Structure formats: C-alpha cells, structure tokens
Amino acid sequence: MDNAISVNGLHKSFGRTKALDGLDLTVATGEVHGFLGPNGSGKSTTIRVLLGLLRADRGEVTLLGGDPWRDAADLHRRLAYVPGDVNLWPNLSGGEVIDLLGRLRGGLDTKRRDSLIERFDLDPKKKGRTYSKGNRQKVAIIAALASSVELLVLDEPTSGLDPLMEATFQYAISEEIEQGRTVLLSSHILAEVEALCDRVSIIRNGRTVETGTLSELRHLTRTSISAELAGHPNGLSTLDSVHDLHVDGNKVRFDVETHALDDVLRRLSDVGVRSLTSQPPTLEELFLRHYTAEGAVTK
Amino acid sequence: MSAALVGTRQLVRLALRRDRIILPIWILVLSFLPASTAKLYHELYPTEAARQALISGAGKNPSISVIYGPAFDLSTPGGFASWRYTGVIAVLIGLMAIFTVTRHTRAEEDTGRLELLGSTVVGRYAALTAAVLVSAGTSLVIGLLMAFSSIGAGLPAAGSFAMGLGLTLVGWTFTGVAAVCVQIAEFSRTANGIGSAVLGVTYLLRGAGDSSTDATWLSWLSPIGWAQQVRAFAGERWWVLPMTLVFAVAIGSVGYWLLPRRDVGAGVLPARPGPAVAAPGLRSPFALAWRLQKGTLIGWTSGMLLVGAMFGSLASGMGDLIGDSPQAKEIFQRMGGAQSIVDSFIAGMGGMFGIFAALYAVQAVLRMRTEETAVRVEPLLATNVSRLSWVGSHLVFPIVGPAVILAVGGFGMGLMHGLRVGDVGGQLPGALGGALAQLPAVWVVAGISAVLFGLFPKYAMAAWAPIGLFVLITMFGPAVNLSQAIMDVSPFTHIPKLPAAELTMTPLVWLTGIAVVAVAAGMAGFRRRDIG
Ligand SMILES: Nc1ncnc2c1ncn2[C@@H]1O[C@H](COP(=O)(O)OP(=O)(O)O)[C@@H](O)[C@H]1O
Ligand SMILES: [Mg+2]
C-alpha cells in the first residue's frame, strides 16, 4: 500500500452548510503531510470523515487500505488521533486517560509514556478539569505518541502549547518520523509545517487549492523587488508573472512569481540597475494569498 | 450598584435570552393547573354525596396523602385544587429553580464561559445574582399567574394568593438551596444532584408527616410542607409565608457567603489529585462507562433504599388510620379488608418507584449525549472501540440500573413492613414483586430515550417529555377522570398493581417487546449516524 490516505472528491454538508466541496487529499505511506487551511475551511471535518466519525455524502475515501466508515474499529488499532479540542473526563486523572486511550487502542509502551510525561512536564495526577487547555492538549499528545501505530492523525495539536512545549512537540514528532510513521498534521502554524512536513495540501472552503512538496510550493511564491533603474522600465506590466507594479520615474516596485524571477531580472539589467533590494519569498505569503478570498495579498 | 454586582443586568438579559424557550414552558405548565382543575370540580363531584365520598375516601386515605399532601377542605373547588397540586407543583418549581440557578452559574463555570465573562467587567457576585434573579422572578411570575388565573376561575382571592405565593416561596427557597449547591459542588451535574436530593428529602419528609398519625411534625421540617400548611382555601395561615421567606433568604445568604471563599471553577472542597497510572481494570468501554455512571446509580439506589424503608415502616399504620373514618373503612372493606388497604398502599408505592426508576433511566441514556456533545466520544471511537460496544456499555445502565433500583426499593419497603408486622417472609415477596413488575414500563421509557439519542440526537433532551407525560397521566389521570384511552398511553397503566392485584404476564411481555425493539432501533441508529 503506497498511500496511507487517499481522498477523492469528498463532499460533506451539515444541513445547509457545505463543509467539504470536492476535497482531494493524498498522503503517501511514510510521509509527513501538512494540512493547511483557514479556520472553518474543513480540516477537522475531513479528519472526522477519515476516522469514520462522520459519513461522507459523496467521494472516495481510503485509509490504510480500508474503508474508514465500514472498518472503523479495525483501522483504529493502527492509528492514533489528537483532536483539536481536547475535553477530558472531569473525574479521571491525566495519567488514567493516557493509559485508557492507549489500552483501548491495543496497548501502549509504558517506558515511552513515562519519558513523554517527563519531557512534556505534565503532572499526570491532576483531574480532567484542573488542567489548562495546553495541558489537556499534552495529555492527548502523550496518549497518541505512547502507542506504536502506523499513522498519526493530528488536528491542530499544538493549539494552546507554549513555545517551549511546541519545540518539545516538534522534537517528539521528528522522532516518530524517524520510526517511519506516517503523519497527517493539520495546522495553521506555518513554521510548524515548514519544520516537519514533506508535502502540504492547502484547502479553502472545503476544496483543495494547492498541493505539493514545500519546494514546489516555494516555487509558487512571489519575491518583492524594488529597484532604481538607469532608464525607464519597459514591458514589465505586460508580464503575467509580475504583480502590484508601481512605477515612479525610474523607480519600480513589484512582486514577481519566483519561477519568473530569472526572466524579470534579465529585463531589468538590460535597462541598467542602479540599486536593488529584494524580499525573499515566504510560504507565509502564499498561505495568506490562498486565505484571502480574492487570492491576492492585501498589504 | 456596587462593584461586585457590575454586569448583573447584562447577565440577566443573557440568561433570559438563553432560556427564552425553557422558562415559558415551565411557566405555562405550572401556572394554570389549579385554575383548570377548579373549573372541573363540579363536573367531577356534582352531588353532595360524591363530595362526601371524596372527603372521606381519597381525602382520608394516607396512601394518597403521601403523594398529594394533607386534605384540609375538599368541599370547595379551591380546597380541592390546592390539595391536588400544591405538593407536585412545589416539586416542579423547586426543580425549575435548581436547574435554572445551576445553568447560569456552575454549568457556565464547567464550560469555562464564565471565566471569559469574568475577565470582562463583571462583578464577583454578578453571575450568581443574575441566576438568582431569573429563578426567583420566574417563581414569582408562576405564583402570580396561578393566583390571577385561579381568581379568574372564580376562586376566592385570599386562597388564590395564599396558594400562588406559597409556591413562589418554594421556588425562592430552592433558589437559595441551589445558590449553596453550586458553591459546594465542583460540577453542574453534582450541583443539580445535590439540589434534587434535598428536594426529594423535603418531599419525603412531608409525605411521612402527612400520612402518619403520630409524627405530623415531620411535615413542618419541609419547605414543601410549608406551602401546604399555608392552608389555601381552608382558613389561610398567612404567617407561614413570611417564615418561608426568612428561610429562603437565610439559605441563599449562605451561598453568597461561600462564593468568595472558593476559586472560579473549583468547589468549596479542594479537588484531590488522582492516580498517575490507571488501574489495570480500566481498559474497556464498559470500565469507563462504569466510572462515569456509577455515581448516579449509587445515589439513586441508596436514595431508593431509604425511601423504600421509610414507606415500608409507614405501611402497617394505614389500617389503623382508617379506624377513624367509618365511610372510608366501609369503602376499603368492600375492596377486601384492611390488609388490602396496606396492599394497595404498597402497590401504589411500587408504581411510584417505577417512576423514579424511569427518571433514572432517562438520565442514564442522556449521559451518552452529554459525553457526545462534550466531544469526549470522538477520541474513544478513534481507538479500537466500535460504536456498538460504546453505546452498549452505556446502555447497560438504563437497562440493568432500574432493576437494581427497583429491587432495592421493594426490598427496603418489604423488609421494614415485614419487620413491623412480624412477617418478613410473607410481606417481602409482595413488595419486591410489586416494585420489580414496573421494569417493563421503565424499559419502554429507556427505549424511547435510546431511540431519540440514536436517531434524533439533536432532540435527545426531549426524552424528558414522555416520562413527564406519563407522570402527569399516572398522578392526575384518575383525579380528573381521564379517559381510559389516554390513560393507556402510559406504559405504567398496564403494569399489574402487585401485591393488591393479580399478576398478569401478558402486558409485561409486550411492554418488554416494545422496549427491546426501541433499544435495538436506537443502537442501530447510533451506528449509522454522524457523531457530534
Ligand atoms: N457538526 C457540525 N454541524 C454543522 N456545521 C459544522 C459541523 N462541523 C463543522 N461544521 C461547519 O463546517 C465547516 C468546516 O468546519 P471544520 O472542519 O471544523 O473547519 P476547520 O477544522 O478547518 O477549522 C465550518 O463552516 C463549520 O462551521
Ligand atoms: Mg478544526
């Protein structure tokens, strides 16, 4: 089985709300896949369908070679899930929840559990409600990481963690990756995705708008250039790859798509460059571009 | 307004908006019952003889006094209506108060919403005060509407106000009780539980007092008893009203006194740490369900043992009491002698236990919905736990739990009664059988709840409606000569009234059949639907 997850044309509505509108998602076995999208774009809904908690209206969904709706309980032995919003039972301690979830999944490694509790600095004796949001999140993360499973499904797992714990989390996940596990990481923290993921899918309004490796996506980003030229720039406005062009005498300011950088720089140097500053491409920008409705970054 | 109360007005408005459906329902259901029954009085008892039979029959029957309260004057429509309804409305208005106060205080703390509000400009006492005002205000509206509608139905004004305000004050008392409960308890469920238990005890205290000959003072220990001792339409005792008011204010003050002595989100008692590692047994969906459900089951079971023992020790007194009233004696002798008065009392109590067990069953089914809406089911179903095993491990409680509750109640009643008449071997089986015979009807209620949870989860809370309807039918149906067709809607109507009547298996079998089908439909529905 080369694909741990494969989703094709997934549709899901809640009454009148269309949560998923033909979503595609492919996660290869052994890969760490970032699942990005603005709030309400359908990340959690997709994950719930993948876990067999929601029934798809339309579309093909395969998880670990099985049907997540029909074979739910069997497939769940092979995966661990960290929900975005962790609610614990008020009368169970954190340690009890970690053990219970691990056992229900089919067993957990107590050594790894203990070391994770120490690294995440969690007091396992506290009862459900006395934990802060970050600490509830830690309980779910430890419970997921303490079982040895093929697939980790993480829905915004670090919401509520402080920066130190965020680093601990990234380190723990990179250990899992070394073990060859497949990870689906839903997030809206770009730095986290850049640090951990091989490939990403960006979704908006329940539809996949971009998917590829990080370097492929970087290719889709834009570099901001401002330059003072020897003469008047010609023909820049006719290029599709140039955006937000401002011309002021011999001064120009514009954004250029990274793949066209070479071509544009050649045109500039043909005119003669006196000074030039450029801002490096960031995924952030690409990300923002997809987040805003018009597909353009407003600055 | 002092700083500690800043924001109260906005919170009252928020609470009224959130309760814009539930409070009008309480008001509609509770306000107009006495007036509508008063109008029926002359139809129900058209002749002097019929009224005399009522006074010396039902009015003197202690097994009826246990439920309704003392009959002061049944010769007028007002006296009749206040006798029929004061006790029951007192219980319901008490529940309204407890649930309302908890909903806007402790339940908000549970969800963390109150913290969000607390960080804005809201005084320390604002949330509690807003909840108290909404609950007390609703109680006042109910009492006044009751008084005006009764006057409108032609009842004397004095009695109408005595009845309405007496019940308003019961609402205020339990508003105060709830104000204390929400400080002590760490969770809204516990606060509602403690409040309801206090309410139950006060109902039982007056039940014991009202049905006994030598311990009538017990009724005076109960705020519900006070509402009855106002003697609306039977020579009003006005001084009982200010007495109740003082008590309500005093108990509410305790809540205000406790509030600053605890942290937001915590109870007065500090939370104890739990084990760092789960016990070896905590490894199945059922083990978790047991952890979550056992508290409620143990509470109901021990309460039922107490109730059963109390009524068991009262039962043998029933025969004596009839001695005072020749007419009642004649009626009961026609039905088969003094022993059958005791038997019919025991049978009646068995029916009441059935209602209690059904209330528990609804609560136990709805616990699943609570788990679901609190998003605590998803992490479980994302493990190797199948939907059927999760729902099945919870359904054990509404199915087996009522059997335990009924057995314990019937046992307590049979044992105490048997000890008092020196015939445990002869009395115990009858009382136990009478209670256990209720099971099929209880299961039907559990089945209806399971269907709602499994197939119509958004409306799961409507599971309280059928049991509410059945309680009304069972308690008031006979009083207003409800047609048999309507009486038959309630599964409890079909249960043979053991030990006073013969055991007939047929209704038990088909009720069980309905329950089985309903539970299966609920489980199948849950298997196929979206979670959340
Ligand atoms: N149970 C539900 N009922 C109704 N609408 C829902 C439900 N769950 C999600 N939605 C809606 O579906 C959309 C996608 O939500 P979600 O998957 O939670 O987004 P994300 O996780 O990306 O923030 C949102 O518009 C949300 O309001
Ligand atoms: Mg989400």
- What would the DSSP string read from start to end of B247-296? HHHHHHHHHHHHGGGS-TT--SSPPPP--SS--TT--SHHHHHHHHHHHH
Is B338's pLDDT higher than 70? no
Question: Cβ(A17) to ligand 1 under 6 A?
Answer: yes
The answer on A259 and A155 residing in a single domain is no
Q: Is residue A124 part of a domain?
A: yes
Name which of A136-150, B30-44, B244-258, B353-367 the model is least confident about.
Answer: B30-44
The answer on A253 and A192 residing in a single domain is no
Residues of A in contact with B110 (CB under 8 A): 90, 129
pLDDT the model gives residue B479: 64
CB contact under 8 A, A129 and B273: no
Pairing of strands A32-36, A182-187: parallel
* Mean per-residue pLDDT, B113-123: 71
Pairing of strands A222-229, A207-213: unpaired
Q: Tens digits of per-residue pLDDT, B493-508?
A: 999 988 878 889 999 9
Residues of A in contact with B108 (CB under 8 A): none
pLDDT the model gives residue A299: 36
Q: In chain A, what percentage of residues exceed pLDDT 90?
A: 59
Provide the CATH number for the domain around residue A200.
Answer: 3.40.50.300
The answer on A73 and A174 residing in a single domain is yes
The answer on A226 and A204 residing in a single domain is no
Most B CBs within 10 A among A12, A104, A137, hence the mutation to make, goes to A104
Is B320's pLDDT higher than 60? no
B252: tokens are: 């509410």
Q: Report CA torsion sign: B165, B166, B172, B178.
A: negative
Residues of B in contact with A79 (CB under 8 A): 382
A214: tokens are: 């990080």
Q: Is residue A294 part of a domain?
A: no
Q: Is residue A290 part of a domain?
A: no
Mean of the per-residue pLDDT values of chain A = 89
Q: Is residue A111 part of a domain?
A: yes
CB contact under 8 A, B382 and A81: yes
pLDDT the model gives residue A8: 96
The answer on A84 and A38 residing in a single domain is yes
Q: List B498's β-bridge partners, or say none.
A: none
Q: Tens digits of per-residue pLDDT, B408-435?
A: 999 999 999 999 888 999 899 999 999 9
Last residue of a domain, one of A212, A243, A270: A212
Best CA proximity match to B191, nearest among B139, B116, B262: B262
Best CA proximity match to A98, nearest among B276, B478, B266, B57: B276
Highest mean pLDDT among A124-133, A176-185, A239-248, B187-196: A176-185
Confidence band, pLDDT 50/70/90 cuts, at residue B462: very high
Best CA proximity match to B474, nearest among B446, B497, B452: B497
CB contact under 8 A, A93 and B528: no
The answer on A269 and A132 residing in a single domain is no
- Terminal Cα-to-Cα distance of chain B (whole angstroms): 42
Provide the CATH number for the domain around residue A246.
Answer: 3.30.70
Distance A85 CA to ligand 1 centre (A): 13
Q: Is residue A162 part of a domain?
A: yes
pLDDT the model gives residue B347: 87
Q: Tens digits of per-residue pLDDT, A142-193?
A: 999 998 899 999 999 998 899 999 999 999 999 999 999 999 999 878 888 8
Name which of B268-272, B322-326, B346-350 the model is least confident about.
Answer: B322-326
Distance A68 CA to ligand 2 centre (A): 19
- Closest atom of ligand 1 to CA, residue A38: 22
Q: Is the pTM of this model over 0.90?
A: no
Is A296's pLDDT higher than 50? no
Q: Is residue A217 part of a domain?
A: no
* Mean per-residue pLDDT, B476-497: 85
Most B CBs within 10 A among A87, A116, A156, hence the mutation to make, goes to A87
The answer on A158 and A118 residing in a single domain is yes
ipTM rounded to 2 decimals: 0.84
Cβ-based neighbours of B5, under 8 Å, separated by 6 or more? B123, B125, B126, B129
The answer on A118 and A35 residing in a single domain is yes
Of A52, A54, A140, the CB nearest to B379: A140
Question: Cβ(B532) to ligand 1 under 6 A?
Answer: yes
- Closest atom of ligand 1 to CA, residue A18: 12
Contact B173, B244 (CB under 8 A): yes
* Mean per-residue pLDDT, B146-159: 96
pLDDT the model gives residue B491: 96
- Which of residues B532 and B195 earns the better pLDDT score? B195
Closest residue by CA, ligand 1 atom 7: A14
Q: Tens digits of per-residue pLDDT, B85-101?
A: 999 899 999 999 999 99
The answer on A156 and A44 residing in a single domain is yes
Q: Which domain holds residue A238?
A: 222-280
Is A19's pLDDT higher than 70? yes
Last residue of a domain, one of A193, A212, A231: A212
Torsion of CA B143, B148, B149, B152, to 10 degrees: 160
- Which of residues B523 and A188 earns the better pLDDT score? B523
The answer on A231 and A155 residing in a single domain is no
pLDDT the model gives residue B420: 86
Tell me the C-alpha distance between B430 and B413, whole Å: 10
Total domains in the fold of chain A: 2
Q: Which of helix, strand or coil describes residue B513?
A: helix
Instruction: Put residue B233 in one of left, alpha, beta given phi > 0 → left and psi -120 to 50 → alpha.
Output: left
**DSSP secondary structure string, A30-92?**
T-EEEEE--TTSSHHHHHHHHTTSS--SEEEEEETTB-TTTTHHHHHTTEEEE-SS----TTS
- Terminal Cα-to-Cα distance of chain A (whole angstroms): 45
Residue B286 Cα, gap to closest chain A Cα (Å): 11
Residue B131 Cα, gap to closest chain A Cα (Å): 23
CB contact under 8 A, B283 and A87: no
Q: Is residue A292 part of a domain?
A: no
- Closest atom of ligand 1 to CA, residue A39: 23
Torsion of CA B156, B157, B161, B162, to 10 degrees: -50
- Which of residues B231 and B334 earns the better pLDDT score? B231
What sections of B266-386 are H helices per DSSP? Answer: 285-315, 317-322, 326-334, 338-373, 378-381
Contact B459, B529 (CB under 8 A): no
* Mean per-residue pLDDT, B64-88: 89
pLDDT the model gives residue B321: 52
The ligand that comes nearest to the alpha carbon of residue A40 is: 1
Residue B295 Cα, gap to closest chain A Cα (Å): 11
Closest residue by CA, ligand 1 atom 6: A14
The answer on A252 and A133 residing in a single domain is no
Q: Tens digits of per-residue pLDDT, B357-386?
A: 999 999 999 999 999 998 999 999 999 999
* Mean per-residue pLDDT, B233-248: 96
Question: Cβ(A45) to ligand 1 under 6 A?
Answer: yes
pLDDT the model gives residue A298: 39
The answer on A239 and A169 residing in a single domain is no
- Which of residues A165 and B263 earns the better pLDDT score? A165
Q: In chain B, what percentage of residues exceed pLDDT 90?
A: 63
Q: Is residue A65 part of a domain?
A: yes
Residue A160 Cα, gap to closest chain B Cα (Å): 15
- Closest atom of ligand 1 to CA, residue A48: 17
